[in-house]
Amino acid sequence: MLSAFRSSALKSVISGQGAFKVLAVVPARQNHHAITKQERIETWDYVNSVYFGPERDMKNFPNPTQPATHEPVRLGIVPQSWFDFMYPKTGVTGPYILGGGLALWMMSKEIMVVDHYFWEIPSFWIMIYILCKHQKVGPQLTKWVAEKYEARKHVMFTRPINMMKTAETSNIARLDRLIEETETVKHVHQAKKEGVEFQLEAAYRQRLQTAYQEVKKRLDYEVEKSNTKRRFEQDHMVNWIVSNVTKSITPQQEKESIQVCINTLKNLAAKQQAA
């Protein structure tokens, strides 16, 4: 009990570490509705993340554990570790002399008064020591206490846990059966979804084909239009040039031109004969 008021423990409590900090960080509920199982799980996960978080000093303040048996003792109540601690300094008889001397000093200072009720303390512990160390009474008493402890443990811990496990196992089995029953719904939904996707893909491809054909028609129209315009301009330009050239030639020029052509042909024929 006194170990809880060590300076380090008080410091941890004041600075907000340990269980007090966990209680401080748990959010208070504003409404009083029924707490669901999921809310309980989330609360416990949050508490564990804080209580076992990186700020927790697990080396100096480890999790308390309940040992299966008590530590070795002497005289029925004095821990063996006290004797081991004093043995290198005082020897074997040191702890006994210290205890007896402390009792004599307390009686001499009247801190521990020897009255009619004083003898109830040593007689009580002597009786406990005899009952625990007796060859017949001690094991029977230990067995009786162990049986009572196991019965209480079964009522308070084991049986409720087993009942909860059984209930949750049945719930899990029922939910698994419902999941198996709803598997077909998932497959039907997937099939319908894929069918709709195929329809959308077909409509999309049809629209792409239609858009391609319409664009191709317009491009062909523009190409044909450009070719027709260029052909018309070319024909018009040729006709205009020929017409203007024809109009610019006079009858005398035409006659001279024909005569020049005849002379050229005669010269070519003479050269061909000479060759």
Locate the domains of the chain by residue range.
2-52, 71-133, 185-218
Does residue 103 have a pLDDT over 80? yes
Residue 9 CB neighbours (<10 A) = 15
Q: What DSSP state is assigned to residue 128?
A: H
Q: How high does pLDDT run on average in the chain?
A: 81
pLDDT digits (tens, 9 = 90+) for 119-162: 888 888 888 877 777 777 778 888 888 899 899 999 999 999 99
CA 78, distance to chain mean position in Å, is: 50
Does residue 244 have a pLDDT over 70? yes
* Contact indicator for 79, 71 with CB cutoff of 8 Å: yes
Model pLDDT, residue 56: 83
Q: Which of 86-95, 124-133, 244-253 has the highest mean pLDDT?
A: 86-95
Mean pLDDT of 25-52: 76
Mean pLDDT of 203-224: 93
* Contact indicator for 51, 45 with CB cutoff of 8 Å: no
Cα–Cα separations (whole angstroms), residue 139 to 66, 76, 132, 144 = 22, 15, 8, 9
Model pLDDT, residue 151: 93
The model carries a pTM of 0.34
The one-letter code for the residue type at 233 is: E
pLDDT digits (tens, 9 = 90+) for 175-197: 998 888 888 887 888 889 999 99
Q: Confidence band (pLDDT; 50, 70, 90) for 48?
A: confident
Q: Confidence band (pLDDT; 50, 70, 90) for 21?
A: very low
CA distance linking residue 138 with residue 129, whole number of Å: 9
CA distance linking residue 150 with residue 143, whole number of Å: 10
Mean pLDDT of 41-52: 89
Model pLDDT, residue 24: 43
Please name the helix (run of DSSP H) or strand (run of DSSP E) that holds residue 78, with its range, or none: strand 78-79
CA distance linking residue 190 with residue 52, whole number of Å: 44
pLDDT digits (tens, 9 = 90+) for 55-74: 888 888 888 888 877 888 88
Does residue 173 have a pLDDT over 90? yes
Q: Which of 31-40, 72-81, 229-238 has the highest mean pLDDT?
A: 229-238
Q: Confidence band (pLDDT; 50, 70, 90) for 78?
A: confident
